[in-house]
Amino acid sequence: YAAVGAPVSDGSAYRRGDLFFWKGHVAMAVDDERIIHANGFRMAVTYEGISEALQRISEQEGPGAFLGVRRL
């Protein structure tokens, strides 16, 4: 995770191609509001709202599961 791209600071607008990392997983932003990823929660590759995904990850995996966002 830390060797990929540059960190995106909190409060920055997300961009297409930003990579979202959490424990054992990575997703890619398709725009400033949605990610695409292989979603074990739905058992399919899905588009998901960024804020909804981050909230779900925090609730399911606990604090610290979300590792951050990196930009290539």
* Residue range 9-23, pLDDT digits in tens: 877 899 999 999 998
Residue 48 has what DSSP assignment?
E
**Cα gap 68→44, rounded to integer Å:** 23
Confidence band, pLDDT 50/70/90 cuts, at residue 69:
very high
pLDDT confidence of residue 67? 92
Confidence band, pLDDT 50/70/90 cuts, at residue 57:
confident
65 CB-near residues (< 8 Å, 6+ apart): 22, 23, 57, 58
Confidence band, pLDDT 50/70/90 cuts, at residue 26:
very high
For 33-62, what is the mean pLDDT?
89
56 CB-near residues (< 8 Å, 6+ apart): 41
